[in-house]
């Protein structure tokens, strides 16, 4: 059982938008007054659940679930969620609903992101999910997704560094949040950006086996212009060059790179969450993975066959971010939207 502390300030992320969505038909009556919270994040590639009990320091995780479902597979070409993708996802959501029921969850929030934002048949999918699992999914905006990721990562931010970039490389989009600490020490979000490009969308366009150097550079260029515009609007590069900003990355890409760098024989969250990677280390691992073929990447214990076709696209997105903001080091977060949801649910407690 892991314990996560509350952020040091009243968090802004999504606070005014929390609606009581999530667990409906199967929640039943509760015989205990003990609060049990659940946060479920359904992304383009992954389905992730956290179940936790609030405590004085934050919350303690009592159950969790994560499965690669590839809900957005083929979405970029067809505009629709495919039947196999929906079936895979619903099977994973059944597991989540059962865990929530067994743990007697009292309050929850279930959100979906880019794949559901884009899909023309999303309403049909959501009705099917509700009918077969009892879960009511809320589709959140790009803005709120970035805010929740920031909120979930606040405990990883160095309080001695005033400004921060928190980025989340997803399956269907990449979110970047720019925040700073005000004179009172409160972390304030300044701006967020969502780029509708993620590891699934890039990998499907450029292929998932081996990449020529020009293909890899082309993927980096896909992100370069929107990142440049965001940077110029807010003057972020100058703040990084002055040493007044830090960077936190939350995604399968950065956690995978950390696991590969550490040469872990298997992925261990406690070894990865919160670790710092130097700029040179990130570049070296990313470049090494980009030159491997599918089999070589799949042989890496922290990648495997499920991620081997996606990780290079993630590396390209990460390199585009570092090209604009060459932070001396990145802090790796195996956390994000789910933790942001949990902090929000705790703030909204009656």
DSSP assignment letter at 140: P
For 313, the token pair is 């696209």
3-state class (DSSP) for residue 206: helix
DSSP assignment letter at 6: P
Average pLDDT rounded to a whole number, residues 8-12: 38
The phi, psi pair for 262, rounded to 5°, reads -75, -5
Question: What's the pTM value of the predicted model, to 2 decimals?
Answer: 0.85
Grade residue 22 by pLDDT with cuts at 50, 70 and 90.
Answer: very low
- 263, 178 in Cβ contact below 8 A? no
Question: For residue 16, is pLDDT > 80?
Answer: no
Strands (E) located in the chain: 2-5, 37-42, 46-55, 58-68, 107-112, 138-139, 163-169, 174-181, 187-195, 245-250, 276-278, 329-333
pLDDT for the residue numbered 11: 35
Question: For residue 15, is pLDDT > 90?
Answer: no
The third-level CATH classification (topology) of the domain covering 2-142 is Nucleotidyltransferase; domain 5 (3.30.420)
CATH architecture, domain 153-333? 2-Layer Sandwich (3.30)
Domain edges within the chain: 2-142, 153-333
DSSP assignment of 83-122 equals: HHHHHHHHHHHHHHHHHHHHTT-SEEEEEE-HHHHH-TTH
Average pLDDT rounded to a whole number, residues 75-98: 97
The phi, psi pair for 224, rounded to 5°, reads -60, -45
Q: What is the pLDDT of residues 50-68, one digit of tens each?
A: 999 998 888 999 999 999 9
Q: What is the pLDDT of residues 104-150, one digit of tens each?
A: 999 999 999 999 999 999 999 999 999 999 999 999 999 999 999 99
Grade residue 190 by pLDDT with cuts at 50, 70 and 90.
Answer: confident
* pLDDT-wise least confident of 111-125, 128-142, 207-221, 247-261: 207-221
- 299, 215 in Cβ contact below 8 A? no
Average pLDDT rounded to a whole number, residues 77-103: 97
Tell me whether domains 2-142 and 153-333 share a fold.
yes
């Amino acid at each position: 059982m892991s314990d996560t502390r509350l952020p040091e300030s009243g968090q802004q992320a999504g606070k005014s938008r929390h609606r009581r969505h999530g667990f409906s038909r199967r929640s039943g009556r509760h015989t205990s007054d003990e609060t049990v919270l659940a946060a479920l994040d359904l992304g383009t590639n992954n389905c992730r659940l956290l179940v936790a009990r609030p405590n004085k320091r934050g919350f303690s995780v009592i159950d969790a679930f994560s499965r690669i479902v590839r809900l957005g597979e083929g979405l970029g070409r067809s505009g629709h969620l495919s039947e196999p993708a929906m079936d895979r996802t619903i099977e994973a959501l059944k597991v989540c609903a059962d865990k929530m029921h067994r743990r007697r969850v009292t309050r929850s929030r279930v959100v979906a992101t880019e794949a559901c934002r884009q899909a023309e048949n999303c309403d049909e999918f959501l009705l099917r999910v509700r009918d077969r699992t009892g879960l009511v999914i809320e589709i959140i905006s790009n803005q709120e997704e970035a805010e929740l990721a920031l909120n979930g990562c606040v405990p990883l931010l160095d309080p001695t560094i005033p400004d921060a970039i928190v980025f989340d490389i997803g399956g269907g989009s990449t979110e970047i949040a720019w925040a700073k600490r005000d004179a009172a020490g409160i972390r304030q979000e300044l701006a967020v950006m969502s780029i509708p490009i993620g590891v699934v969308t890039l990998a499907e366009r450029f292929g998932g086996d081996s990449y020529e150097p020009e293909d890899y550079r082309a993927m980096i260029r896909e992100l370069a212009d929107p990142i440049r515009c965001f940077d110029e609007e807010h003057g972020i590069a100058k703040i990084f060059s002055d040493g007044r900003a830090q960077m936190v990355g939350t995604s399968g890409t950065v956690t995978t790179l950390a696991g590969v760098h550490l040469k872990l024989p298997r992925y261990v969250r406690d070894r990865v969450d919160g670790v710092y990677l130097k700029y040179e280390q990130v570049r070296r691992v990313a470049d090494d993975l980009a030159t491997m073929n599918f089999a070589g990447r799949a042989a890496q214990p922290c990648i495997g066959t499920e991620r081997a076709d996606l990780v290079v696209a993630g590396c390209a997105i990460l390199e585009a971010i570092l090209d604009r903001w060459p932070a001396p080091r990145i802090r790796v977060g195996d956390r994000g939207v789910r933790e942001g949801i949990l902090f929000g649910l705790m703030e909204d407690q009656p």
